[in-house]
Amino acid sequence: MKSRTLLLTVVLLVAVVAACGDDDAGTTSSTAAPAGTEAATTTAAPATTTTMAATTSAPTTTAAGPMEPTGLIAFTDTDDAGRFMVAVLDPTGGEVQHLTDPETISPLMPQWSDTGDRIAFWNLDASGEEFVFTIDADGSGLTQVTDFSSAVADWHPDGGSLVFNNDSEGEVQDTPDVAVMNLDGTGFTQLVDSDPTLDFGAHWSPAGDAILFLSDRTGAFAIHLLEVVSGEVTEVLSLPGLGISQANWSRDGSRIVFTTFAEGGANSDVWVAAADGSDPVQLTSNPGIDENATFSPNGDWIVFTSDQGGQMDLWIMRSDGSDMRQLTDDMGPDLWADWGP
């Protein structure tokens, strides 16, 4: 089933959905509609704020380093009933702003536009259908972009289109693929369709000429690169004995940050490497979950989700793994952070 396939891909990306109590998600299939449909617009509930002072874990080093973190972090917050909301947090502390109403939408994996004025996410509704939405940074302008099975969206640098996972019709084995589409519903293009491999978690390069994504086409899950003009796909990085479940660029395109998971185990860790896959360095060694990492705008910091404090919360660290700090510490899991410009 199509929705089931996309959801299982995301569960692989971030093996924490079960901890959020989403027992019924992804049990109903959906059928992809023809490309080029008009985007549907809905009205968002007013944004709400909750006071949450940033807390700091004991830093791994006190040596002078890069400047203090700046910019806003978007993430999926969870309320006491286990419902999801898009939230925005200043890493230096203050209020958490909720941009969506959990009564009307269930947003997952928010991603900032490069201009910082909009956020894309995918919604998993009560029937298990998955669609991509966008919302303005102030919580207004909630807009449905896709009306076919689609998830895990990322912005093109020019802000005019999104790359996302979808399910192609007619596959012998139903697997997630990579497609792009303009925000107005035009220009749908299937970029990666390699049945029976799983291809997911795509991110545009800062220059807009390549797409980083995860795939098991060469065996274990590894980082691959699609050159958009030529269509050539190459493997960027794989690690012996480890799978890679998430990867993203630094904003200058010189580095990638990624998450590995131990095959047959629950442990995951955050790594960095050069953009060509050379010089991989492991930054975390928590025996539990450290995952879903993105760079700060200047590349000096990394935000990620971790259970090292006892539950899934947001943490930051310098890009060399030092000065680790816990940002959130509330009852519900805090997931899928993305650091805005």
DSSP 237-268: E-BTTEEEEEEEE-TTSSEEEEEEEETTSS-E
pLDDT > 70? residue 8: no
In the sheet that holds 210-215, the strands lie side by side as: 199-204, 210-215, 222-227, 233-237
Beta strands 143-144 and 150-155 are unpaired
Query: What confidence tens digit (pLDDT) does each residue in 203-218 have?
Result: 999 999 999 999 999 8
Distance CA 207, CA 215 (A): 22
174 or 16: whose pLDDT is higher?
174
Domains of the chain are 2-27+46-339 (2.120.10.30)
Distance CA 37, CA 31 (A): 14
Are 9 and 144 within 8 A, CB to CB? Answer: no
Q: What is the pLDDT of residue 30?
A: 31
Distance CA 182, CA 212 (A): 19
Q: What is the pLDDT of residue 168?
A: 59
What is the three-class DSSP state of 6?
helix
Query: What confidence tens digit (pLDDT) does each residue in 98-154 have?
Result: 999 999 999 999 999 999 999 999 998 888 889 999 999 999 999 999 999 999 999
Distance CA 31, CA 282 (A): 40
Q: Does the predicted model carry a pTM greater than 0.85? A: no
Residue 169's identity, in one-letter code, is: E
Distance CA 131, CA 288 (A): 31
Q: What is the pLDDT of residue 16?
A: 37
What tokens were used for 89? 């947090």
Distance between terminal CA atoms of the chain? 37
Q: What is the pLDDT of residue 173?
A: 52
Q: What is the mean pLDDT of the chain?
A: 82
Cα 197 to Cα 14, 171, 221, 228, distances in angstroms: 19, 11, 10, 19
Mean pLDDT, residues 157-184: 83
The number of beta carbons lying within 10 Å of the beta carbon of residue 335 is 24
Instruction: Supply φ then ψ for residue 201, to 5 degrees.
Output: 65, 40
140 or 20: whose pLDDT is higher?
140
What's the count of helices (H) and strands (E) in the chain, helices before strands?
1, 26
Distance CA 332, CA 330 (A): 6
Q: What is the pLDDT of residue 36?
A: 31
Q: What is the pLDDT of residue 331?
A: 84
pLDDT > 90? residue 34: no
- Which 8-state DSSP code applies to residue 9? H
55 or 82: whose pLDDT is higher?
82
pLDDT > 50? residue 31: no
Distance CA 327, CA 315 (A): 5
Mean pLDDT, residues 33-62: 36
What is the three-class DSSP state of 246?
strand
Mean pLDDT, residues 183-204: 91
The residues facing 304 across adjacent strands are 315
Query: What confidence tens digit (pLDDT) does each residue in 229-286 have?
Result: 999 999 999 999 999 999 999 999 999 999 999 877 679 999 999 999 999 999 999 9
The residues facing 315 across adjacent strands are 304, 326
Q: What is the pLDDT of residue 169?
A: 59
Percent of the chain whose pLDDT exceeds 90: 67
